[in-house]
Chain A
Amino acid sequence: SQQGEEDPQALSIQEGENATMNCSYKTSINNLQWYRQNSGRGLVHLILIRSNEREKHSGRLRVTLDTSKKSSSLLITASRAADTASYFCARSDSNYQLIWGAGTKLIIKP
């Protein structure tokens, strides 16, 4: 299966700044999902955006989807040290199988 592309691979910012991670893909999607993984732990689902949606919010998270550019972004506002984790996008194809990106490692410096 074809993986999505995420960038950057790693991101280090100061606490309080905003963090933006991007995800691109090549084929059509039903939805695109973002997950978070703390070091050595399982993944936790953050937010799902459907192909007919352009933007979704959940607390300090904002996800956008541009199907014409085949890309999505995850914005974390007012970052906290506890946001330090790896973030993965996964696109759901026509069979609702998930295809995963390689992830962005986010480090929030106190």
Chain B
Amino acid sequence: DVKVTQSSRYLVKRTGEKVFLECVQDMDHENMFWYRQDPGLGLRLIYFSYDVKMKEKGDIPEGYSVSREKKERFSLILESASTNQTSMYLCAITGTGNTGELFFGEGSRLTVL
């Protein structure tokens, strides 16, 4: 079974703090994604990566950065958290083949006070 692990399920941070969200996969897949999910808005793509040290902006990259130093780990960074970044963050990887089917982690719910 594909395993995508997000290290923190729940975080509470203060405005201005730096936040790291970690995602680790055990399937040696190249493609990794970070989404945020807000009620009524569905999933919105923040960043994705097709390989180590490679990153591409998604639809809403502002206020975020990412790091992919190793193939199995994709980190989402909020340099200076703001209250409008309170959200559910979902990491995903693509399966085998080229259909775009995604496997998700359990999500990290971030609250910024």
A contact residues vs B (CB 8 Å cutoff): 1, 3, 30-31, 33, 35, 40-45, 48, 50, 88, 90, 92, 96-98, 100-103
**Known contacts A42-B106, A96-B98, A97-B100; 6 further A-B pairs (Cβ under 8 A):** A3-B42, A42-B104, A42-B107, A88-B42, A96-B99, A103-B42
Asked whether any CB of chain A lies closer than 8 Å to the CB of B103, the reply is yes
Closest to B59 in A: A1
Closest to B35 in A: A100
Our pick among A88, A96, A101, A102 for the contact of B100 (Cβ within 8 Å) is A96
Q: Kindly state the interface size class of chain B when it binds its partner.
A: 20 to 34
Closest to B41 in A: A102
Q: Is the CB of A44 within 8 A of B41?
A: no
Count of A-B contacts judged by CB separation below 8 Å: 57
**What 4 pairs across the A-B complex have the smallest Cβ distances?**
A42-B104, A100-B42, A96-B100, A92-B100
Q: Is the CB of A43 within 8 A of B42?
A: no
Q: Could you say which residues of chain A place their CB within 8 Å of the CB of B92?
A: 43
Q: Could you say which residues of chain A place their CB within 8 Å of the CB of B40?
A: 102
Our pick among A40, A41, A88 for the contact of B43 (Cβ within 8 Å) is A88
Asked whether any CB of chain A lies closer than 8 Å to the CB of B28, the reply is no
Q: Is the CB of A92 within 8 A of B99?
A: yes
What is the CA–CA distance of A48 and B103 in the complex, to the nearest angstrom? Answer: 13
Closest to A3 in B: B42
Contact residues of B between 69 and 113, Cβ < 8 Å to A: 88, 90, 92, 95, 98-107, 109
27 A–B contacts, CB within 8 A, in A order: A3-B42, A30-B99, A30-B100, A31-B99, A31-B100, A33-B102, A35-B102, A40-B107, A41-B107, A42-B106, A43-B92, A43-B104, A44-B104, A45-B95, A48-B99, A50-B99, A88-B43, A90-B43, A92-B99, A92-B100, A97-B45, A97-B100, A98-B102, A100-B43, A101-B42, A102-B40, A102-B41
